[in-house]
């Protein structure tokens, strides 16, 4: 890179936040290596206890990944072949894949333009005699409106499982989002807000018996539920991941404060019409900004401008899942207009604990100016 080229601002920086923990990780790794307890030892047990307490649930079970967590949680919730699970099309593939792996049918309803989460007012119209569960996904760390989702589920005798892969620390109405539903699933993929250095996941359970069933399944022991015999499998979280995640957990609040500050900086440049609208005016709601998104009609031009300035951006979920190759196994309920629009318009900006605030000001100013010019040219 020539000295005149601007320094690139990446979407993630996985290494810098590890540096303050490096010595502790290396020391604990050596102890682990020499202990011989590589699978389901003290680190996993303690991580499960600590995160269950953080999340306000009685039990949590470490599993191999966020995808695996979804699969076992849906199994334990009794999802059977032919059942329907209502979810959002504006999410990562894994949400849909876990349902399809159980030979069940993902049913997509549209999202809300303000927070990009599934629209609870559309749930009842999507329910059929085959509906077994609702699977909300607090996307990018913004809480879904859980109360109306839980109310519809209760009225129709449905299970609710929350895919909170992107939402560690997110609060809904003052409580951790992972404590609202029967089970909630988390990913420790390295780009997530609470990361490992490989794959890992967890299921948070309001009912300790669900946790027991998941412990059996993750360790090759069969389980009988609702008269059906389910096979066990290997879905274990390993000790190295649990050790690193425990160390990163200690720093989570500080890192979140940095993400919050960056989001505040972006918010100061970007009008509310073009970004996440603070849910419920902020009362009891905590957004953790796994991604910070901006909405823009001419997304390609904004992306190009930022790229020329050395700033990496992300595009999600384009096209949304109802256009995926696997959509042949899915059903849609009603038009998915907002999911389509989000897939066309949403651009994510760098946000992570190692991003200098000066960079956030520069990025926010560039985006703000672009949106102003765009608004002026459409009104002219
Ligand atoms: C919404 C959502 N669900 C599930 C997953 C799957 O998690 P993992 O990559 O740990 O399997 C992810 C990961 O990116 C995700 O973003």
DSSP 321-344: GGGSGGGGG-EE-S--HHHHHHHH
CA 210 to chain centre: 22
226: confidence class by pLDDT, cuts 50, 70, 90:
confident
> Which ligand 1 atom sits nearest the alpha carbon of residue 200?
10
- The reported pLDDT for the residue numbered 231 is 93
pLDDT (average), residues 209-235: 95
> In the prediction, which pLDDT does 11 show?
95
> For residues 322 and 341, is the Cβ–Cβ distance under 8 A?
no
Question: At 7, is the pLDDT very low, low, confident or very high (cuts 50, 70, 90)?
Answer: confident
Write down the pLDDT at residue 369: 98
3-state helix vs strand vs coil in the chain, percent to 5: 45, 15, 35
Residue 4 phi/psi, 5° resolution?
A: -80, -15
Would you say 353 and 195 are in contact if contact means Cβ atoms under 8 Å apart?
no
How far is Cα 25 from Cα 291, in angstroms, rounded to an integer? 27
Confidence of residue 279 (pLDDT cuts 50, 70, 90): low
pLDDT of 288-302, one tens digit each? 999 999 999 999 999
**Quick check: CB of 168 below 6 Å from ligand 1?**
no
On average, the pLDDT of the chain sits at: 96
As a whole number of angstroms, the distance between CA 192 and CA 43 comes to 20
The pLDDT assigned to 168 comes to 98
Place of tokens 């307490």: 53
Tokens in use for 90? 């504006």
The CA 165 to ligand 1 mean position distance, Å, reads 5
235 lines ligand 1 (CB under 6 A): no
How many other CB atoms sit within 10 Å of the CB of residue 116? 26
Q: From the CB of 67, is ligand 1 less than 6 Å away?
A: yes
282 has pLDDT over 80: no
**Across 140-160, average pLDDT:** 97
Residue range 335-358: average pLDDT?
A: 97
State the distance from the centre of ligand 1 to the C-alpha of 162, rounded, in angstroms: 12
- The answer to whether residue 2 scores a pLDDT higher than 60 is no
Ligand 1 pocket: which of 189, 195, 321 to mutate (most atoms <8 Å of CB)? 189
Q: What's the average model confidence in pLDDT over 213-225?
A: 96
286 phi and psi angles, rounded to 5 deg: -125, 120
pLDDT at 3 over 60: no
0.95 exceeded by pTM: yes
Residue range 73-126, pLDDT digits in tens:
999 999 999 999 999 999 999 999 999 999 999 999 999 999 999 999 999 999
Residue with the two structure tokens 């696997």: 326
Q: Is 66 in the pocket of ligand 1 (CB under 6 A)?
A: yes
Output the pLDDT for position 5: 65
How confident is the model over 12-28, as pLDDT tens digits?
999 999 999 999 999 99
Q: Six-digit token pair at 174?
A: 């003052």
What pLDDT does 1 receive? 46
Name all domains of the chain by residue range, CATH numbers in brackets.
16-109+119-242 (3.40.640.10), 250-379 (3.90.1150.10)
List the Cα angle 231/237/241 in 5-degree steps.
165
The torsion region of residue 78 among left (phi > 0), alpha (psi -120 to 50) and beta comes to left
pLDDT, position 167: 98
Instruction: Report whether pLDDT(4) > 70.
Output: no
pLDDT at 380: 67
Nearest-CA residue for ligand 1 atom 12 is: 165
Query: What confidence score (pLDDT) does residue 283 get?
Result: 77
């Amino acid at each position: 890179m020539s000295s005149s080229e601007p320094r690139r601002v990446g979407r993630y920086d996985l290494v810098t936040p590890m540096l303050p923990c490096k010595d502790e990780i290396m020391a604990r790794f050596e102890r682990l290596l020499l202990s011989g307890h590589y699978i389901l030892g003290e680190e996993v047990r303690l991580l499960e206890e600590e995160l269950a307490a953080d999340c306000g649930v009685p039990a949590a079970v470490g599993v191999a990944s966020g995808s695996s967590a979804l699969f076992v949680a849906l199994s334990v919730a009794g999802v059977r072949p032919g059942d329907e699970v209502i979810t959002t099309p504006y999410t990562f593939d894994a949400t849909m894949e876990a349902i399809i792996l159980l030979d069940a049918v993902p049913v997509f309803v549209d999202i809300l333009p303000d927070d990009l989460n599934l629209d609870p007012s559309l749930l009842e119209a999507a329910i059929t005699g085959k509906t077994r569960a609702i699977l909300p996904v607090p996307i990018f760390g913004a809480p879904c409106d859980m109360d109306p989702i839980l109310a519809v589920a209760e009225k129709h005798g449905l299970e609710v499982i929350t895919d909170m892969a992107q939402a560690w620390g997110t609060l809904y109405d003052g409580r951790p989002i992972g404590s609202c539903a029967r089970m909630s699933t988390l990913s420790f993929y390295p780009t997530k807000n609470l990361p490992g250095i490989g794959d890992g996941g967890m299921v948070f359970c309001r009912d300790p018996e669900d946790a027991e069933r998941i412990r059996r399944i993750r360790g090759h022991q069969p389980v009988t539920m609702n008269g059906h015999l389910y096979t066990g499998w290997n879905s274990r979280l390993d000790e190295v991941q649990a050790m690193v995640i425990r160390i990163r957990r200690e720093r989570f609040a500080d890192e979140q404060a940095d993400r919050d500050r960056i989001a505040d900086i972006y918010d100061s440049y970007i009008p509310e019409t073009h970004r996440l609208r603070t849910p419920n005016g902020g009362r009891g709601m905590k957004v953790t900004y796994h991604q910070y998104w901006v909405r823009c009609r001419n997304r390609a031009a904004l992306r190009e401008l930022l790229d020329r300035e050395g700033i990496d951006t992300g595009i999600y979920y384009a096209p949304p899942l109802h256009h995926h190759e696997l959509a042949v196994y899915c059903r849609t309920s009603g038009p998915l207009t907002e999911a389509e629009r989000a897939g066309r318009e949403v651009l994510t900006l760098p946000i992570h604990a190692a991003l200098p605030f000066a960079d956030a000001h520069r990025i926010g100013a560039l985006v703000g100016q672009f949106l102003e010019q765009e608004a002026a040219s459409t009104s002219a």
